[in-house]
Each structure stands twice: as C-alpha cells, then as structure tokens.
C-alpha cells in the first residue's frame, strides 16, 4: 500500500457506470466488477467495489463465497436479509450499519426481505435499494466476522456520521469496526435545511451521492449516482438541494503503487 502526492479531483457521472441488468437485479458498478473489467478503473485508495443495487421482491443473491475483504452494506430503501455460514442472520434496513469481514472465507446470501424460507411474504412487497462497498483489509487471513448497529438517531442530526472505521482517530465515535486501519466510511443524511458538511482531509476520498442532489465546493452539482474521487484533497463543503444522502470513504493508503 502507498500514498500519492499529486492533488486530483475526478468526477464520475452516474450514467457512465458499468451495469448489470437481469430479470431481478439492476446493478451499477463504480469500479470494475465481475465480467465488467476496465484496467483503468479498478479501485480508488482501498475501495475496490461501490455497487448500487436494486433487487426485486422475492429475489436476491444465493449463497456465495467471499475471502479477505471488508464488506459494508448500506440500505437506502426496503430491507435486505443476510444469512451466512457463521450462523449470523439479520435484516438490514435504512439507518442500520452493517459489516461483514470475509477473512479466511465465508459463505453468505442476501435476499430482498420479502423473501422467506417458509415461502410466505411479509406485509411489504417492494424492491430493496442498497449500496455495497468492499475495502481491502490490513492483512489477509483474519477470522471472518459480522457486525451491525442501528444509527438512525445519529444520522438525523444531519452531520457527517462515521459509520464504519478502522482508523484510530475514530475509535471512540465509529458505529462499527473494519479490519483496515487506513479507512473509514462516513454518511451524511441531509435535508434542505441542513448545515453544509465538510469533507475530511485525506490522501484519498471517495464521495458518492446515494440519494438526491448536492453541490460540492469546487465541483458543482452532483446528482444521484454521481461520484467524486479526490487525491490529496479535502475540506470541501457539501450543500444539499433537498433531501439527500452522501457516502464518503476516507482513506490514508491505496492498493498497489
């Protein structure tokens, strides 16, 4: 892992993302993913995956393996059922922070919460909309693990809330931990009346507009699905046009040279 010394700001528009569309899934990839490979777009900092997914009712990802990755899932609408080979079962919904450490290896499935093992549907019947993000851990071969925590009250304040982190500076105020001492994920849930939030200073930042529309100082208007990759930058203000949700990865190292 290394850092860069050249300041740079790159705007990546929502419509330019690679896409996977099948009968039950609409997935948009900010970086190379699966069969979609671009050698010039494989990661930023330690962030390898930033997928925005919409899964239809009664559908989802069947049991599949992961290894040596810190996976953070952030639900924007609907709810998602998680089940894994360690015996964890949980429903992830807006305002719930969730992390899975794949480590030496883990199997898991993710289904729209309208899906049930007994074949019965719950009262709601709507798509689930979420963003899944993968970052590189400090070391391979750690024990796999799972963590989730409700943080809706913190998000209601309209600040930049530290959702997942391994950075020592956020040890006392992070919701959930990740096995990366160089990375932290923050979320701002904003309204038209919210005070502008300030981006942290870091060698690498990834700013993703998950909902709504915002203005970013020095960049301009960003719509839902737009992302900004910053190198050796930070301190910019983000102002919402109305209701909006922004996901920020702060990273102090990068993969490779």
Q: What is the gyration radius of the CA atoms in the chain, in angstroms?
A: 17
**Cβ atoms of 29 and 18 closer than 8 Å:** yes
From the CB of residue 42, how many other CB atoms can be counted at a distance below 10 Å? 13
Q: Tell me how far apart the terminal alpha carbons of the chain are, to the nearest angstrom.
A: 7
| 110 appears as a binding residue in the annotation | yes
User: Kind and range of the H or E element at 8?
Assistant: strand 8-12
**Cβ atoms of 188 and 248 closer than 8 Å:** yes
| 66 appears as a binding residue in the annotation | yes
* Antiparallel, parallel or unpaired: β 160-165 and 176-177: parallel
- Long-range residue pairs from 211-218, CB within 8 A, at least 24 positions apart, any chain: 211/76, 211/243, 211/244, 211/245, 212/240, 212/241, 212/242, 212/243, 212/244, 212/245, 213/240, 213/241, 213/242, 213/244, 214/190, 214/238, 214/239, 214/240, 214/241, 214/244, 214/246, 215/239, 215/241, 218/9
| 44 appears as a binding residue in the annotation | no
Torsion over CA of 235, 241, 247 and 248, rounded to 10 degrees?
Answer: -10
Nearest to 47, CA basis, from 235, 226, 250: 250
| 88 appears as a binding residue in the annotation | no
Binding residues for Fe cation: 64, 66, 108, 110
Binding residues: 64, 66, 108, 110
């Amino acid at each position: 892992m290394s850092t860069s010394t050249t300041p740079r700001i790159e705007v990546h528009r929502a419509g330019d993302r690679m896409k996977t569309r099948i009968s039950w899934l609409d997935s948009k990839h900010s970086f190379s993913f699966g069969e979609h490979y671009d050698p010039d777009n494989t990661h930023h900092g330690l962030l390898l995956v930033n997928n925005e997914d919409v899964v239809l009712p009664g559908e989802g990802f069947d049991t599949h393996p992961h290894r040596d990755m810190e996976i953070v899932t952030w639900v924007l609408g609907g709810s998602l059922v998680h089940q894994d080979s360690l015996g964890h079962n949980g429903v992830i919904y807006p305002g719930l922070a969730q992390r899975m450490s794949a480590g030496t290896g883990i199997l898991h499935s993710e289904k729209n919460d309208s899906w049930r093992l007994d074949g019965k549907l719950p009262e709601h019947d709507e798509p689930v909309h979420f963003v899944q993000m993968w970052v590189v851990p400090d070391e391979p071969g750690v024990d796999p693990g799972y963590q989730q925590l409700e943080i809706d009250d913190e998000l209601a304040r309209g600040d930049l809330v530290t959702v997942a982190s391994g950075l020592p500076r956020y040890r006392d105020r992070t919701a959930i931990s990740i096995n990366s001492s160089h990375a932290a994920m923050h979320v701002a849930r904003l309204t038209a009346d919210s005070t502008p939030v300030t981006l942290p200073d870091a060698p690498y930042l990834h700013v993703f507009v998950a909902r709504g529309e915002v203005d970013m100082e020095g960049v301009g208007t960003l719509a839902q699905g737009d992302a900004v990759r910053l190198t050796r930058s930070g301190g910019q203000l983000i102002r919402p046009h109305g209701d909006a949700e922004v996901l920020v990865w702060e990273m102090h190292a990068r993969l490779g040279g």
